[in-house]
Amino acid sequence: MSTVISAPRTENGHVVVDLTVSGCLFDMDGTLMMSTPCVVAAWTAFAEQNGVTPNSILDHSHGRRTIEILHDVNPKFADQAHVIAFETTIAKEYGDLATPVPGVTELVNSIPAGKWGVVTSATKVIADEWLKRLNLNPAGVVLTAENVTAGKPDPQGYLLGKKTLNLGDDFLVFEDAFAGVKAGLQAGAVVVGMATTYDAKTVKEFGANIVIPDMTHIKLSSYDATTNKMIFTVTDPYM
């Protein structure tokens, strides 16, 4: 950990830390894209159609795979056909409610090719839709619900992302949800928590190493092609 996160320092009245890493893996919903309004609207409609209260779903849904949530509602819904139908509804009927997390395009498009990827609990249909709307440079890997046998908080997705990009043990995971933070930590990453869905204190309590409000608080300061190391500078993190 100490080789990744520098000691805090003060610059122009702001607390600053550096993160020295070999690569980055990003969650999607709540981390790259503010899609919570879409997801809430879709689950609320689904709950009402199936005679359950929306909160019985929403209180335990964030960061988890749709198939697992559907199973909680009724095991008969826990198949790929229902998953694809539900996530297609999110994209087609509620997609315009989604907005990029501030600073995402600038940060991600500054990262060298092959040094970043996406690990999401969403299916390919929703991941492709959000990536198209975000207009980012191509990711080195995009892992969706179809690529794992166990969803977050299981670290399987992040471990696969790390292996696919050939990252060292010094890598970052960006996450906003409890399940995702735990998955990143179990994969051995330094977790940058996003205070987008929950407040900074809550995300820190999830276990995130540092927390930022959005991507405008982090920038790529340097990249050494010889060592394959990047240095990210974080301004005013919650630690």
Q: CATH no. for residue 143? A: 3.40.50.1000
Report if residue 3 sits inside a domain.
Answer: no
Residue 189 has a pLDDT of: 98
- Cα(38)–Cα(41) distance, integer angstroms: 5
Are residues 77 and 110 located together in one domain of the fold? no
Are residues 103 and 92 located together in one domain of the fold? no
Are residues 110 and 175 located together in one domain of the fold? yes
CB atoms near residue 168 (< 10 Å): 12
Q: Which two tokens stand for residue 205?
A: 């309590």
- Cα(81)–Cα(61) distance, integer angstroms: 19
Residue 110 has a pLDDT of: 98
Are residues 41 and 136 located together in one domain of the fold? no
The count of domains in the chain is 2
Report if residue 172 sits inside a domain.
Answer: yes
Catalytic, 214? Answer no
- Cα(237)–Cα(234) distance, integer angstroms: 6
Are residues 179 and 82 located together in one domain of the fold? no
Are residues 208 and 227 located together in one domain of the fold? yes
- 138 near 47, Cβ under 8 Å? no
Active-site position among 29, 59, 72, 154: 29
Q: What are the residues whose beta carbons fall under 8 Å from the beta carbon of 101, sequence distance 6 or more?
A: 30, 31, 32, 33, 34, 194, 196, 214, 215
Are residues 192 and 111 located together in one domain of the fold? yes
pTM over 0.85: yes
| Helix, coil or strand: residue 209 | coil
Report if residue 146 sits inside a domain.
Answer: yes
Residue 65 has a pLDDT of: 83
Residue 122 has a pLDDT of: 87
Active-site position among 18, 27, 72, 169: 27
Report if residue 159 sits inside a domain.
Answer: yes
Residue 1 has a pLDDT of: 45
Are residues 62 and 29 located together in one domain of the fold? no
- Domain with residue 41: its CATH number is 1.10.150.240
Residue 106 has a pLDDT of: 98
- 25 near 191, Cβ under 8 Å? no
- Cα(237)–Cα(27) distance, integer angstroms: 19
- 225 near 207, Cβ under 8 Å? no
Catalytic, 27? Answer yes
Q: Which residues of the chain fall short of a pLDDT of 50?
A: 1
Are residues 88 and 107 located together in one domain of the fold? no
- 111 near 24, Cβ under 8 Å? yes
CA separation (Å) from 141 to 25, 115, 137, 157? 9, 9, 12, 11
CB atoms near residue 237 (< 10 Å): 23
**Host domain of residue 59:** 36-96
Are residues 168 and 213 located together in one domain of the fold? yes
